[in-house]
A and B are shown apart, each in its own frame.
Chain A
Amino acid sequence: MTTEPVSDQPRRKLRNFALLSNRAGAAFLTPAGLLVSVFVIVPFFWIIFVSFTNRTLLGKTALNPEFVGLANYLTLFDPSNFFQRGQFGFSLILTTQFVLASALLGQALLGLLLAWLIQTVPPWVKRITETFVIAAWILPEVVIGFAWFAFLDRDQGTLNALLTGVGLPKGDFLLEQPFWVIVVFNTWRGAAFSMMLFGSAFSSIPPSYFQAADVAGASSWQKFKDIGLPLIRGHIVTDLILITMWTFNTFTPFLLTNGGPSYRTELVSIYNYRVAFHDFQFGKGAAVGVIMMLINLAFALVYLGIGRKKKG
């Protein structure tokens, strides 16, 4: 709560609006509080604890894990192999590239473009476009993953059938350009959110602004650059932070490539899964999890900070 002196007026108002006594409120909060502590807070501290051990699922260290201090973290940041494929550093860099290409450039830019373009088209075109873009967003991940896998397959894939149909050579996309496949996939998958957010932001701009610009003879680009963009700047920041966090944590590309071939699409979330649940190294996996939590925490703090600044 703020420490600045507050006038009596709003405080009394607050009290008037309280529906329950403090005790009753606490009683109603307890079940939710218990659930949150059992399923969120306890595992959180458990993961931090496990990350300092060499616990595994198989072998001797499953039953008798030892405390190894920072060893798991040191292995992750071992400079001798940090940048090798299949190592943590490689995944981290790959994920950064993935976020830049698919979230910031792909989703946000495409969403912005779509949102701007559908402001001016006939309503039926707008509705159809929105339906398709949102469908890509709300369909279940497994269905989407399988559909893309089938679409891109070299021998029986739809895309190659189309390419050969117009006389172009076949591509071996999943093997030769796996990174670009997951970038395009994630852009396609997530552009809807940015489009909806920007779309509603654009429609909150009073139409008179644009009408005045029309009278002055402004081009579409000028209206976009000088009226649209400045007025939705706040939305853009919010959007960028949210999609950065989501893209950083996404696991769906696993359904297309399994993180391969040769770890070339192993994002940190997939790396974490492999270490913990495929190699069964719980200690090391927990250390990756802790680092991911810290990175997310940083994003969340930036996000909250901006939100607070906007209110102030």
Chain B
Amino acid sequence: MSNRLRSLALGIIGASAVAVPAFAVDLDITCRCVIGGVNSGTAEWIENSVIPAFEAANPDINVNLNQFGGEDAQLTQQLALDFSTGAGPDVTAFDGFLIPSFVEGGLLKPLDEVAGPEVDDWSGWAALSDGSRALMQYQGKYYGIPLGTDVRMIHTRKDILEEAGIDADTWQPTSWEDILDAARAIKKIKPDSFPIQLNAGVAMGEATTMQGYWLALLGTGESVTDENGKYIVSSQGILDTLNLYKTIYVDEQLGDQRAQLLADGRNRSFANFRDGVTALLFEGDYFYRSVTPEGSEFAVADRDNVMGWVKVPAEKPGSGIRGQDFVTISGGTGFVLNPATDTPKEAWALLSFMNEVEMQNAFQAIQPRITARTDVEIPNSPFLTEASQALLPLTTARPNDENYNAVSAEIQRMTEAVVSGELSPEEAMAQYKASVIGIVGEENTVSLL
């Protein structure tokens, strides 16, 4: 190397060493949240509350929020591929049901393994409610800190129910037939409407399984797995559920088939509810707190007077899981650490900081929700209070199993085959059976027919 080149190289090294202080750390945090878009509240909370406060307390750390605007399944896809190559954000929002499959795939590590023993010393663990602890746990170890849980119900458009001659304030369906009858009454006065939205199809991903299939299946007294954790691949409950889909989307067109089949269907279903095309929409409390508030894309005008909710009835009174009259199911989200983060201590500092009481209170002020911490203030939100009191005692959880995610994809395919009219419920169930046996092995399945 010539002297000139050498001096140039040394000069560059020197200049860059001066320009970048050696101790500055950059942290990336990702969530499916966009200010003014999907999950706007979460993005506002991180951008306007968490980051300024955290950076003030840790002047050497720069935090950058990646606002992911795609679908849930696309974020899962990106995180799985990123984590498998040692890339990706240091901290990311994460749906608890994915933890088993990620852990078994070596894509997530327990928090104390990533960030060291100070994880166990965190004061926040003691403040978590018993139920929420399990949300981000697998085989007794924490992989993230849960933010909160949720419950599912039928959101109603009271104005449309009234138009159809139903007293919306007292209406509480007690069987599937009640729901269908209400939908038929609405369809009669509004032939172009699609009164029911019960998620189906592949495009909606886990939202199909969680907000659609489970809510119907639990009403038949069954679950996706039996009491021994074996997957039920053939049963009357599955058939009844698929026939309900068929009635809604194929036989009587009480639901918007297009919204189940097109790639952006979930947003279309939200738009249907906003525009009064749909009057009965199966969703979580998420729909109330995050999708329809004033100022969001799917804001329902005059929401306080127009929107209501009812419990999801079992197929017939008493036919639900554990003999219940009404059913619901809960999931949980939180934030996890990337096992390949270059700066595990700082990443943990951010993760735990977000979940301190002050930060959680700030979040509650933006968007009240059912929190994991018991010491967080609950703002006055009648919807949330009533819903959690009525539904948390009835709730169910998904199997904490590494194969659930793959089986769930088969459930989505099964519903799509029925909703599109391609297969009969019997044929779709036979296909589901073959696929699930291929995933978990015949010994881990059970046929009840």
Which A residues lie within 8 Å of B77 (CB)? 277-278
Query: Given A260-B203, A260-B262, A262-B422, are A57 and B80 also a contact pair (CB < 8 Å)?
Result: yes
Task: Please pick, from B73, B409, B420, the residue contacting A261 in the complex, using a CB distance under 8 A.
Answer: B420
Task: Please pick, from B105, B203, B416, B431, the residue contacting A58 in the complex, using a CB distance under 8 A.
Answer: B105
Is A59 in contact with B402, judged by CB distance below 8 angstroms?
Answer: yes
CA–CA, A268 and B84, complex, Å: 25
Which A residues lie within 8 Å of B402 (CB)? 58-60
B434 part of interface (Cβ distance < 8 Å):
yes
A7 part of interface (Cβ distance < 8 Å):
no
Which B residues lie within 8 Å of A63 (CB)? 104-106
Which A residues lie within 8 Å of B84 (CB)? 57, 62
Is A279 in contact with B261, judged by CB distance below 8 angstroms?
Answer: no
Q: Which of B91-147 contact A (CB under 8 A)?
A: 101-102, 104-107
Which B residues lie within 8 Å of A174 (CB)? 262
Is B263 in contact with A277, judged by CB distance below 8 angstroms?
Answer: no
Q: Mark A164-185, 1 if CB is under 8 A from B, else 0.
A: 0000000010110000000000
Interface residues on B, range: 20 to 34
CA–CA, A257 and B263, complex, Å: 7
Is A261 in contact with B406, judged by CB distance below 8 angstroms?
Answer: no
Query: Given A59-B104, A81-B434, A85-B422, are A262 and B416 also a contact pair (CB < 8 Å)?
Result: yes
Instruction: Write the chain B residue with the least CB distance to A75.
Output: B438
How near does chain A come to B329, taking the closest CB pair, in angstroms? 22
How near does chain B come to A278, taking the closest CB pair, in angstroms? 6
Task: Please pick, from A62, A154, A257, A260, the residue contacting B107 in the complex, using a CB distance under 8 A.
Answer: A62
Is B417 in contact with A262, judged by CB distance below 8 angstroms?
Answer: yes
Specify the main secondary structure of chain A where it touches its partner.
loop
Query: Given A57-B84, A80-B434, A260-B261, are A279 and B409 also a contact pair (CB < 8 Å)?
Result: yes
Query: Given A60-B104, A62-B107, A262-B416, are A84 and B431 also a contact pair (CB < 8 Å)?
Result: yes
Which B residues lie within 8 Å of A86 (CB)? 413
How near does chain A come to B343, taking the closest CB pair, in angstroms? 25
| Residues of A in contact with B (beta carbons under 8 Å apart) | 56-60, 62-63, 75, 80-81, 84-86, 154, 172, 174-175, 257-258, 260-262, 277-280
How near does chain B come to A145, taking the closest CB pair, in angstroms? 12
Which 10 pairs show the lowest CB-CB distances between chains A and B? A62-B105, A261-B261, A58-B101, A58-B105, A258-B263, A262-B420, A63-B106, A60-B104, A59-B402, A59-B101
B403 part of interface (Cβ distance < 8 Å):
yes
Query: Given A58-B104, A58-B105, are A175 and B422 also a contact pair (CB < 8 Å)?
Result: no
B301 part of interface (Cβ distance < 8 Å):
no
CA–CA, A85 and B431, complex, Å: 11
Can you report 5 residue pairs joining A to B where beta carbons are below 8 Å apart? A57-B107, A59-B101, A75-B438, A262-B416, A277-B81
Instruction: Write the chain A residue with the least CB distance to B101.
Output: A58
B400 part of interface (Cβ distance < 8 Å):
no
CA–CA, A292 and B416, complex, Å: 27
Query: Given A59-B104, A62-B107, A279-B409, are A258 and B80 also a contact pair (CB < 8 Å)?
Result: no
Task: Please pick, from A154, A260, A280, the residue contacting B80 in the complex, using a CB distance under 8 A.
Answer: A280
Which A residues lie within 8 Å of B416 (CB)? 262
Is A258 in contact with B203, judged by CB distance below 8 angstroms?
Answer: yes
Is B104 in contact with A279, judged by CB distance below 8 angstroms?
Answer: no
Which of B73, B263, B438 has the most CB atoms of chain A within a 10 A radius of its CB? B263
Query: Given A58-B101, A58-B104, A80-B434, are A172 and B80 also a contact pair (CB < 8 Å)?
Result: no
Which A residues lie within 8 Å of B388 (CB)? none
How near does chain B come to A178, taking the closest CB pair, in angstroms? 10
Q: Which of B397-443 contact A (CB under 8 A)?
A: 402-403, 405-406, 409, 413, 416-417, 420, 422, 431, 434, 438
Instruction: Write the chain B residue with the least CB distance to A175.
Output: B258
How near does chain B come to A167, taking the closest CB pair, in angstroms? 21
Which A residues lie within 8 Å of B434 (CB)? 80-81
Task: Please pick, from A57, A60, A172, the residue contacting B258 in the complex, using a CB distance under 8 A.
Answer: A172
B202 part of interface (Cβ distance < 8 Å):
yes
Which B residues lie within 8 Å of A58 (CB)? 80, 101-102, 104-105, 107, 402, 405-406
Instruction: Write the chain A residue with the least CB distance to B264.
Output: A258
Which A residues lie within 8 Å of B202 (CB)? 260
How near does chain B come to A148, taking the closest CB pair, in angstroms? 14
How near does chain B come to A53, taking the closest CB pair, in angstroms? 14
How near does chain A come to B104, taking the closest CB pair, in angstroms? 5
Is A262 in contact with B106, judged by CB distance below 8 angstroms?
Answer: no
Which B residues lie within 8 Å of A258 (CB)? 203, 263
Query: Given A75-B438, A85-B422, A258-B203, are A59 and B105 also a contact pair (CB < 8 Å)?
Result: yes
How near does chain A come to B97, taking the closest CB pair, in angstroms? 12
